[in-house]
Amino acid sequence: MRKFLALFLSLSLLVLSACSMEPPAWAKPDRDGKDLEDLKIGLSVSTLNNPFFVSLKEGVLKEAEEKGIEVKVVDAQDDSAKQINDVEDLIQQGVDILLINPTDSAAISTAVQSANSIGIPVITLDRSADKGEVEALVASDNIKGGEMAAEYIVAQLGEEAFVAELEGVPGASATRERGTGFHNVADQKLNVVAKQAANFDRTEGLTVMENLIQANPDIKAVFAHNDEMALGAIEAINSSGRDIMVIGFDGNDDALKAIESGQLEATVAQQPDLIGQLAVQAGLDVVQGKKVEKNIPAPLKLVTIEE
Amino acid sequence: MKANNEVLQAKKGNLLQSITQKLGPFLGLLILVIFVSVMNPSFLEPLNILNLLRQVSINALIAFGMTFVILTGGIDLSVGAILALSSALTAGMIVSGVDPMLAILIGCILGAIFGAVNGLLITKGKMAPFIATLATMTLFRGLTLVYTEGNPITGLGDNLLFQLFGRGYFLGLPVPAVTMIVTFIVLYILLHKTPFGRKTYAIGGNEKAALISGIKVPRVKVLIYSLSGFLAALAGAILTSRLNSAQPTAGESYELDAIAAVVLGGTSLSGGKGRIFGTMIGVLIIGVLNNGLNLLGVSSFYQQVVKGIVIIIAVLLDRKKSS
């Protein structure tokens, strides 16, 4: 029995000693110094099925083009596992800077660590990474944005107005942060009578809003965590014939049009192209050995019909 | 003598046909690999091959289970949802202090139980596999969201074995790839060398005949759906380690990738015909497509178009051969 135990222990030791967290040395690619013009940027986007991230990508491409730098773009289609594969593929293509717009902060950690192990600097866009070494995070100040929306409602409708909230994908960082910011102000000055998730989706925004109107006839304003849901909510409100103020978040093209036509009251506009540009600049600074801020806030602005 | 010759000729013809049938998917893979490596030589770099093996391992495990299911003439749409639910439960156990390896084992057993539910609905409930697993897919997805409250489960700690499971290397090979290869060998033996495998083929070939010849069809089916659930959960455990978290939306549409791999590998959706080796090739074809198109810098929108076209071509060629 003791012999068996000893055999088992030594065998498992043997197996363990054959394991490692690093790829084998023979498989690591060679990397050597390069000029600025020869740099290659890899951009991994969470999804290109959303105009916001398309603008973000455009911002990166525009800034890189001005500097004469090549960009490789991959699209994770909102699948965390695919994104890790995508980033591995970018590393394989020999990119020098990785710009990652994570689908999820926790899930992206592995990919960031793989980049770290080969020494490629990582900048995250819009969302952060929980683990691994990230040079900088370029993102809108979502908490501030939520507060801006709530303060606007207070300014327009006065305190204790009845409001509803359309939440984004439960657990997504934008949902948490925008919600937190909104409630920072709203919990004291407004009456949030209903909140429901509509998953950042226009169709769901429509159906959820229909239900909310049925259940809460005295709603005076709605804060949606993004424009898509806000635009869906407007359709529901129009067909119900009520007068409810809608505030969106993001400032995408459709939302700006809706503000012009007076259907959408306001939106807290992010500037995704600016996020992309700032990220490229930060990446280049890192490669050139300059110091960059860990958190680079991209400005937000409240767009109303007056602007 | 003449008659003998004719028989021999016919045998030769059959042999040739069976070789092309078996090698068809393999040739497809070979052409694809050559094409991608000519277009971008970095495809063949060692690190990329290792990446590729790791990238395909999750789909491979699911597709292996799916092969058994499809061989019986069934389908399992719930594998992606089982993956998500067992991954969430495993992560939940780890966070609450259960040893990670034990948690993975329990998670896989739970996966097998979820699969058994499918099997019981199909055999005892007499539901069509498509409907039964469509329903449980929705059910398991919902339970995952309920359990996780829609948030990813994080804080899985720094257990080395757990990290190795999805991210580490064993003798220079990624651990998930090792898991895939070992599983392949076990399942190959199970399918081609044991009575259980013969029963699987028999059920898919002609269920009534199988029943009459004394095969306990319901029992075999329940076992096969349990196997499918078990493998989905194993894939989920790898994913959990790779993502260092459990994602409530993990594994969405993975069932479709697995079905595509099985079909690409030449297994007939009507059951009874097919090989697990073909599935391995099908998995590699999809993996090379994903990885290669990324390396070639093809936009993700076109990638989906290409994948769809490849599946159509593969199935059309298969039809032509068998007719």
The average pLDDT across A66-73 equals: 91
Domain ranges of chain A: 36-134+272-298, 142-269
Size of the A and B interface in Cβ pairs below 8 Å: 120
User: Would A36-134+272-298 and A142-269 be classified into the same CATH topology?
Assistant: yes
- State the first-to-last Cα distance of chain B, in angstroms, to the nearest integer: 30
Asked if B163 reaches chain A (Cβ–Cβ under 8 Å), the answer is yes
Q: Of the candidates B154, B242, B295, which has its C-beta nearest A130's C-beta?
A: B154
- Give the pair of three-digit tokens for residue B47: 């690190």
How distant, in Å, are the alpha carbons of A51, A238, B24, B90 from that of B106?
Answer: 42, 52, 39, 7
Which parts of chain B sit beneath pLDDT 50? 1-2
Say yes or no: B232 contacts chain A, CB-CB below 8 A. no
**Residue B50 touches partner A, C-beta closer than 8 Å:** yes
Q: Are A226 and A255 a contacting pair, CB within 8 Å?
A: no
Separation between Cα atoms, residue B156 and residue A107, nearest integer Å: 12
How far apart CA A171 and CA B143 sit, in angstroms, is 16
Give me the pLDDT at residue B74, please.
Answer: 95
Which ranges in A196-302 belong to alpha helices (H)?
Answer: 202-215, 227-240, 253-260, 272-287
- Would you identify the CATH topology of the domain B26-318? ABC transporter involved in vitamin B12 uptake, BtuC (1.10.3470)
* Cα distance between residue A29 and residue B42, in whole Å: 10
Identify the pLDDT of residue B103: 95
Fold of the domain built from segment(s) A142-269: Rossmann fold (3.40.50)
Task: State phi, psi for A214 to the nearest 5 degrees.
Answer: -60, -45
Whether B243 sits inside 8 A of A81 (CB atoms) is yes
Domain boundaries, chain B: 26-318
Whether residue B169 lies within 8 A of chain A, CB to CB, comes out as yes
Q: Is B323 on the interface with A (CB under 8 A)?
A: no
Which chain A residues touch B40 with a CB distance below 8 Å? 93
Burial A13-33 (b: 16+ CB within 10 A, else e): eeeeeebeeebeeebeeeeee
Q: What radius of gyration do chain B's Cα atoms show? A: 21
- Amino acid identity, residue B197? G
Residue A85: list chain B partners with CB under 8 A: 51, 55, 290-291, 294
Closest alpha carbon within chain A to B163 = A21
Residues in B closer than 8 angstroms to A22, CB to CB, are 169
Looking only at the bridges linking them, the beta strands covering A245-250 and A295-298 are: unpaired
Which of A75, A83, A92 would best serve as a mutation to test chain B binding (most B beta carbons within 10 A)? A92
Class of domain A36-134+272-298: alpha beta
Cβ-based neighbour number of residue A57 at 10 Å:
22
Q: Could you read off the pLDDT of A9-46 as tens digits, one per residue?
A: 788 777 777 788 777 777 665 555 556 667 899 999 99
Which contiguous run of DSSP H or E holds residue B257?
helix B254-264
Phi-psi category of A290—alpha, beta or left, where left has phi over 0 and alpha has psi -120 to 50?
A: beta
- Res A37: pLDDT: 67
| Residue B159: predicted pLDDT | 87
Rounded to whole angstroms, how far apart are CA atoms A299 and B11?
75
Question: How many alpha carbons lie under 13 Å from residue B37 in its C-beta half-sphere?
Answer: 12
Residue A123's H or E segment, with its range, is strand A122-125
d(CA B91, CA B246): 6
Determine, for residues A104 and B46 on separate chains, whether the beta-carbon distance falls below 8 Å: no
Query: Across all residues in chain A, what is the average pLDDT?
Result: 89
Looking at beta carbons, which residues of chain B come within 8 Å of A86? 294
Residue position matching structure tokens 């595509």: B260
Q: What is the mean pLDDT of residues A140-169?
A: 93
- Which member of B47, B50, B290 has the closest CB to residue A85? B290
Evaluate whether A72 touches A292 at the Cβ level (below 8 Å): no
Q: Chain B contact for A197, CB < 8 A?
A: yes
Q: How far apart are CA B212 and CA B111, in angstroms?
A: 31
Q: Which two tokens stand for residue A152?
A: 């606007």
Strand partners, A290: none
* Predicted complex ipTM: 0.72
Task: Return d(Cα A154, Cα A290) in angstroms, integer.
Answer: 43
For A139, the enclosing helix (H) or strand (E) is: strand A136-140
Q: Does B72 touch chain A (CB under 8 A)?
A: no
| B244 shares contact with chain A (CB less than 8 Å) | yes
